[in-house]
Structure 1
Amino acid sequence: MKGLPILDLAVILIYLLSMILVGVYFSRKNKNSDQFTKASGMIPSWAIGLSIYATFLSSNTFIGVPGKAFGSNWNAFVFSLSIPLAAWVASKYFVPFYRGTGEISAYTHLEHRFGAWARTYAVVCFLLTQVARMGSIFFGIAITLQALTGYSMQAIMIVTGLCIIFYTVLGGMEAVIWTEVVQAVIKTFGALLILYMIVSDLPGGVSKIVEIGAADGKFSLGSFSPDFTSSSFWVILLYGFFINLNNFGMDQNYVQRYHTAENEKSASKSVWLCVWMYVPVSLLFFLIGTSLYAYAQAHPELIEQVRQQVAVERLPAGASESQVTAMAASLTPADYGDKVMPAFMVSKIPAGLVGLILSAILAAAMSTISSGMNASATVFSVDIYQRYIKHDVNDKQNLRVLHIGTAVFGLIGMGAGIAMIGVKSILDMWWELSGIFAAGMLGLFLLGIISKQSKNHEALLATAIGIIVILWMTFSGSLLVDYPLLQSTMHKNMIIVVGTLTIFLFGVLLTKIRKRT
């Protein structure tokens, strides 16, 4: 890792080695599939809560949130404000439901409710979501490491990915949870350290940050007008509620953790622990972004460096100096927000502390990716392999499938991250992809739980209508350029809201029509 002082390199290597040793330690206990997928249901609620919190607090938060706050304002923080309401629904309805079924997969019950097609559709949506999530997180960590080391993003993703695959395959869900407990502490401390370093090096300190942030509207939560065509307060609130409803109710990463708890009460406590930790810590990252914005006003050389870097990346190889200068001058804060924190770390943070902060960012990436790999492998084993390929699989064979599936999904996530190189905003890209993939399965899930009288053909027709609406909202802007009246004018974050409600409401309507006829 060229470019890093020996002390920083030592801190990072110690952290990576520790994570691998955790996987090796728990590999001794991973003798069956039940232990691999749900740690035999013996994890305390506080550890599960920290694990869920660590999954929420990914490198998308570490890099994307400060970048978003730097480039615009605190509008995206409204997402965090929606989490308590979604958590209340989850603890009251979802946790008891999944603990009652006893099924490790979040999607098995959909087949009981509506048939094999419903289960398969939800599984496909989930796996696509996981690939998008892992890819965006690999991309986020690569941005920072490239700035610090000079290595290519592709090489960085491959090296970090192999480390994550190694300890996740060895240790299973128990290793995932306990490494996430450690990572939750490291990344929270790392965020506090970054904020301290920015404020202490800024003339005027906190008062200057407040002054500049208030003058430039950096603390705004967005427009409160009922506008669904832009990123208003209400659009982000609705998006946050529906996407977190999907997280707590349909995402295998979270549902699988409900089964690792000793009982239903313990599982519900873990959900609330995650909420009370994540909301204030997410605010901390918005503070970091605004502080960086104020810092940049006092240190314009930092921003000039970032602009030059982004211009070089966007222009074809061999571009002239004048072309680079012209491109750099045309860039806005929204174009380079994700690059500012890595640049600050490179130029302003002393040796030793860089390694500690980088370990925190690595922790943010590794916790979410390892969780996604384990959950994806579990879904593949239960909902695809055992359902369609081999019904009478024994436990030894199932454990082998889980190991292979974990590694394969890790490699696919790496590939997705490499494909995302060049994306302007990690957070925007992830929010759009997650909304598209999650909308359909959440609507189907809510229809199955709430509308008890809805049957297979009503659910199938409602889902088909919902998919059409999701595709229209996603692609009409680019496919129907010559027909503006046929284009969707809603903001992309409304896809999950409209898609979910379309499936649910059409399912209920079709059920009522059938009952009357």
Structure 2
Amino acid sequence: MFGSKLSALTFIAIPAKAYATDWVYVMNNVMVLAIAPVVTYFYLPYFRKLKLTSVYEYLQIRFDRRVKLLGSFTFIVFQLSRLGVVVYLPALVLSTVTGINIFACILVTTIITTAYSVAGGIEAVVWTEVMQVFVLLGGALVSFFFITSHTSGGFGGFIREAYANDKFRVANLGWSISEPVLWVVVIGTLLTNLVTYTSDQVVVQRYLTTPTEREARRSVYTNALMVIPATVIFLG
């Protein structure tokens, strides 16, 4: 579950955003802790009781087939637009490092991921994401230590430099609705995560694959706990 939300966007975009601004978006992942009890108490038991394969099957049970198809369609459109960015970013990096044409990088990445997903099903997807967690978090840690060791003054100099430029600010106080002030970020990310963990097939599918409800509940909380140190690493 954690691996399914960990992507090139996390690895490339979040550090760039933190570097350009500060840590005000840390609440985006902290709110996962807040919605985990809601998911495990209200949604997870109900979805598992219905023995769903797709979360959108619920829409047909509750309403009708047209609503289910609409929900599935909007999910696919969203994923296509998201995956365009998710595939493009690592292809851009790979092309820059190796000199390979970026279109070739995109094509090879797409073919490989599609092939193992079709051939291995959800089990292949899950185990690939487990490996990705180690690779991406390991790479982030290596990058972090490389950056701090090459900063004047080492880790202490890194902290002083960031602090002097107000990079550790986690909250903007105010009442504007067009700025990332605290109340906007908290409410916005709370609702965003609630939608993601209760209606996004990518996430719901993961906690429906476990043998028991207890293990599904444990997976939701494990994901919520892993999000915090990962967030600190990538923002750092």
Question: Normalising by structure 2, what TM-score?
Answer: 0.94
CA deviations over 1:176-207 (Å, ceiling 9, x no partner) = 11121122122211111111111111120122
1:176 is aligned to 125
Query: Residues 336-485 of structure 1 correspond to what in structure 2 (within 5 A)?
Result: none
Amino acid across the alignment from 1:70: Y
Report the Cα distance in structure 1 between the residues aligned to 2:104 and 2:114, rounded to whole angstroms. Answer: 15
1:272-287 equivalences in 2 (<5 Å) = 272-287=221-236
Does the CA-based 8 Å contact 2:36-2:220 persist in structure 1? yes
Does structure 1 residue 194 correspond to structure 2 residue 143? yes
Tell me the secondary structure at the aligned position of residue 241 of structure 1. Answer: helix
How far has the Cα of 1:107 moved from its partner?
A: 1.1
Tell me what 2:182 maps to. 233
Q: Residue type matched to 1:169 in 2? A: V
Q: Which string of whole-angstrom CA distances, capped at 9 and with x for unpartnered residues, describes residues 385-430 of structure 1? A: xxxxxxxxxxxxxxxxxxxxxxxxxxxxxxxxxxxxxxxxxxxxxx
Report the counterpart of residue 68 of structure 1 in structure 2.
Answer: 17
Q: Is the partner of 1:82 in helix, strand or coil?
A: helix
Tell me the secondary structure at the aligned position of residue 114 of structure 2: helix
Aligned-pair CA distance for 1:226: 2.4
Contact 2:162 2:168 in 1 (8 A): yes
CA distance in 1, matches of 2:151, 2:163: 17
- Aligned residue in 2 for 1:23: none
Cα separation, 2, equivalents of 1:193 and 1:131: 31
Q: Aligned residue for 1:245?
A: 194
1:215 aligns to what? 164
Q: CA RMSD in A?
A: 1.4
Cα deviation for residue 67 of structure 1 reads 0.5
Say whether the 8 Å CA contact 1:106–1:255 is kept in structure 2.
Answer: yes
1:153-172 equivalences under 5 Å are 153-172=102-121
Q: Distance in 2 between matches of 1:141 and 1:196?
A: 21
Given candidates 22, 25, 33, the residue that maps to 1:84 is 33
Larger CA Rg, structure 1 vs 2 = 1
Q: For 1:129, give the aligned amino acid.
A: F
Counterparts of 1:57 and 1:258 in 2: how far apart (Å)?
16
Contact 1:95-1:268 at 8 Å conserved across structures: yes
Contact 1:94 1:248 in 2 (8 A): no
Residue 180 of structure 2 aligns to a residue in which SS?
coil
Q: Which has the higher contact order (CA 8 A, sep 6+)?
A: 2
2:101 aligned with 1:128: no
Q: Does 1:204 align with 2:145?
A: no
TM-score where L is the length of structure 1: 0.44
Q: Which residue of 2 aligns with 1:428?
A: none
The answer on whether the counterparts of 1:98 and 1:258 sit within 8 Å (CA) in structure 2 is no
What is the alpha-carbon distance in structure 2 between the residues aligned to residue 152 and residue 74 of structure 1? Answer: 35
1:56 aligns with 2:5: yes
Residue 95 of structure 2 is aligned to residue 140 of structure 1: no
Match status 1:264 vs 2:213: yes
Shift of residue 123, structure 1, vs aligned partner? 1.2
Which structure 2 segments of 5+ residues have no match? Answer: none
1:84, CA displacement in angstroms? Answer: 0.6
Query: 1:67 is matched by which residue type in structure 2?
Result: A
The Cα shift of 1:164 comes to 1.0
Whole-angstrom distance in 2 between the partners of 1:154 and 1:88: 43
In structure 2, what is the Cα distance between the partners aligned to 1:87 and 1:136? 27
CA distance, structure 1, for counterparts of residue 39 and residue 180 of structure 2? 26
Q: Is residue 138–residue 157 contact of structure 1 (8 Å, CA) maintained in 2?
A: yes
Structure 1: runs of 5 or more not aligned: 1-51, 288-517
Inter-partner Cα distance in structure 1 for 2:4 and 2:58: 24
Deviations along 1:467-487, one digit per CA (max 9) or x if unpaired, are: xxxxxxxxxxxxxxxxxxxxx
CA contact (8 A) 1:65 1:285 kept: yes
In structure 2, what is the Cα distance between the partners aligned to 1:143 and 1:211?
32
2:126 is the counterpart of 1:149:
no
Shift of 1:220: 1.4
Opposite residue 240 of structure 1, the aligned amino acid is T
The alpha-carbon deviation at position 154 of structure 1 amounts to: 2.0
Q: Distance in 2 between matches of 1:262 and 1:270?
A: 11
CA distance in structure 2 between the aligned counterparts of 1:116 and 1:163, rounded to whole angstroms: 33
How far apart are residue 114 of structure 1 and its match?
A: 2.3
User: What is the alpha-carbon distance in structure 2 between the residues aligned to residue 234 and residue 83 of structure 1?
Assistant: 16
